[in-house]
Amino acid sequence: QRFSRCYKAWRSGKGSPSLGWKRCCHGEAGTSVTPEMRAFLEENTEVTSSGNLTPEIQLRLLTPRCRFWQEKLDSWPYGDPFWAIYWPGGQALSRYILDNPWIVNGKSVLDLGSGCGATAIAAVMSGASQVLANDIDPIAGMAMILNCELNHLNPFPITIRNMINSEVGDWDLIVLGDMFYDEQLADGLHQWLRKCMRTRPTQVLIGDPGRHEFLRHRIHRHLHKVVEYSLPEAARQENNGLTSSIVWSYQPSCSLESS
């Protein structure tokens, strides 16, 4: 199966990557990239800031002009590079933060499932006092470092451990985009986020373009729509019919705690 076909299926909500598409690692990512990995990523990704909601942010992404776009999935020598796609939920979160810097200014922010790191970058650009990016794929962590460099930022801390069901951190804001593609993962996220909000008054923002798995999950009854963005034409074409992306505020009701 070619990466481009798998990518389009997930974009449209007709398919989901398995929970094993990333290598699950534990620990902290470094603040540097080996020369070999830097060369590999620079050769096989494209620097772009167009066709998405945040032209202010430059990113190294896998695009149709890249060699591996038309290769079979198993030809990529690392965990499948879904971190190299700027998913629409992340685009909406990043746009919202850039347009409303007060959301993060002077605050601590956890970007869960950070992928390319765009939302974490938006938080730094908007004045967050502390940012932690989390993605369990170590290659994603390395790519985030390169993306920080592209945007003239010092790399923020990156963790590659699975944070779901981990101890709750002291975060003012947790952001996550495009994470509700699998029921088991969605259940774990729902429970962990609810635990976070019981521990301290943490704000949670979720970005999603309206995938079926997200809309039908029980977490949806705890969400309040914040803003909806119309996707650029290029993003619409890539998303197979998805035309917008929404930022939701997660506000679990005490009366629905068992939901």
Tens digit of pLDDT for each residue in 44-97?
A: 999 999 999 999 999 999 888 888 887 766 777 888 888 999 999 999 999 999
Question: If we measure between CA atoms, which residue out of 167, 65, 171, 45 comes closest to residue 115?
Answer: 45
Tens digit of pLDDT for each residue in 102-151?
A: 999 999 999 999 999 999 999 999 999 999 999 999 999 999 999 999 99
**Burial of 113 from C-beta contacts in 10 A (0-12 / 13-18 / 19+):** buried
What are the Cα distances from residue 54, in Å, to 4, 112, 210? 23, 19, 19
14 pLDDT higher than 80: no
3-state secondary structure of 56: coil
Quote the CA–CA distance of 105 and 220 in Å, as a whole number.
27
Is the pTM for the entire model greater than 0.75? yes
**Strands 244-250, 158-159: pairing kind:** unpaired
H or E segment and range at residue 73: none
Token pair 């198993």 is at which residue?
A: 74
Give the angle subtended at the CA of 41 by the CAs of 38 and 45, to the nearest 5°: 145
Question: If we measure between CA atoms, which residue out of 140, 254, 134, 121 comes closest to residue 189?
Answer: 134
What are the Cα distances from residue 212, in Å, to 18, 124, 164? 16, 31, 22
